[in-house]
Amino acid sequence: MNPRLLIPLAVVTATVLSADAPRPVSAKICTTCHTTAPGNLRGYLDNVVVKTGSFQLKLDEATEVLRYDKAGLKVVSEEKADSPEAALKAIKKGHEVRVEFTEKDGVKTATLISVKPPVKLAAADMVSTEEVQRLVALGPEKGNYFLFDSRPPVRFNEGSIPTAVNLPFPAFDKNVGKLPADKAALVIFFCNGKTCNMSPSSLAKARKLGYTNAKVYVDGMPAWYAKHYGVVSPASFKEAFLDKDIPAIVLDVRPLAEARQGFIKGSVSVAPAGLKDLLANGFPAAKLKPPVLVVDAEGGQAARAAALEIVKAGYPGVNILTGGIKGWQAAALPVETGAPATQVAYVPKLRPGAVSVAEFTRLASLAPEARKEILILDVRSPEEAKAGMIKGALNAPQDQLESRLAELPRDRRILVHCGTGARAEMAYNILKDRGYNVAYLNAEITIIDTGEFTID
């Protein structure tokens, strides 16, 4: 075996929900504006696998795997497509959808997928990214504006637009004291993009309170992060990332001598002049969307310049630390001294149920008789499996899994793989919900006729 990528992470173990616990039918954020009727689900579209006529729907921590029949599926979307399946494939991963389904023998089959459309507001009620950028550059006093982030605190803590104050729509009525006394002042609400209703709903509430110059930045955080950096306070970064053990890249752009006197744990020291080379040679791929926090002495020009350079290199989700390291220390948060790292070592957190490449490689490389407590489950099609299978593996295509459960052991750990990880994750969710001890490989794997494999 010659695996190309080894990530030394511990196995993520799935927790099986209690059989008595009701399964969620909606993502929590959807309940802010919607109720969910029986036979419906509201969540975020995840993987779509055309080969098996299946897709995944994320409902926060829960995942639903649904089938679809090309002949019986209807997709309601403002995007035009040649067929319902083409319309399904065109939906961006993470987009909010409502799914109508039928259920037979525990298998849900989608009959209708309604794609959440962009919010519709009059042009006079909206402001552009360029206008928000202009105002932020002036600041609230010179710009004479008030900027409110309508998202829940958990999202605000991950980063927001500079000068924004968190006024979450779900708790709007409890926080009206944050609004300005002057009801003719320019008040701008924003949330998570064109389909998010929290900022338009905040606008409606503000209008009822008598605010005559309230508007919405409809494009919101996705558009802002695509071109600009955000800000995060020391307490928010600790809560959103450190306390939850969420990996993030912390770049300390102060002179090395200053950084040695005290830096945030895990920081990478880089001089502004060396940032371009670090981005070219030492940064993870932009498609991984790593959270990046830039730290200088006081959250000043050095951090802003570095953050913009990272954004221009194609990385969304870049924030600077409000108040810099001095703000961190003023919040009585811990620092380390000595020599900070100079190379980025970012490893994305595994998706729920995923096994690390290193762990899968170790177990799959064992002879079948040496892994009697493990079953390697190959959920590719029989045609794909003919080209090569890991020795001792069982082939049970993902779209046949429910009808072949009797072949799967309850007393062995099951490691699932496909060719890319998409069908493997669906199989994992199917088996996890039925109480199996299961994990899956979320990576591309190539297997030849000898049973040898490489993982990209």
Which active-site residues does the annotation give?
A: 418
DSSP state of 399: G
Neighbours of 350 (CB within 10 A): 17
Structure-block tokens of residue 264: 């945030």
Q: Is 337 exposed, middle or buried (0-12, 13-18, 19+ CB in 10 A)?
A: exposed
- Rounded CA gap, 275 and 208, in Å? 49
- Contact at 8 Å (CB) between 373 and 452? no
DSSP state of 185: S
Strand 318-321 and strand 268-269: the pairing is unpaired
Distances (CA, A) of 26 to 35, 52, 59, 429: 8, 24, 6, 17
Structure-block tokens of residue 248: 């993030």
Give me the phi and psi of 16, to 5 degrees please: -85, 130
| Closest CA relative to residue 111, chosen from 143, 156, 170, 67 | 67
Cβ-Cβ contacts under 8 Å for 394 (sequence gap 6 or more):
375, 376, 377, 378, 407, 408
Length of the chain: 456
DSSP per residue, 89-148? HHSPTT-EEEEEEEEETTEEEEEEEEEPPPP---GGGB--HHHHHHHHHHHHHHHTEEEE
Q: Hey, what amino acid is at 116? A: K
Q: Hey, what amino acid is at 391? A: K
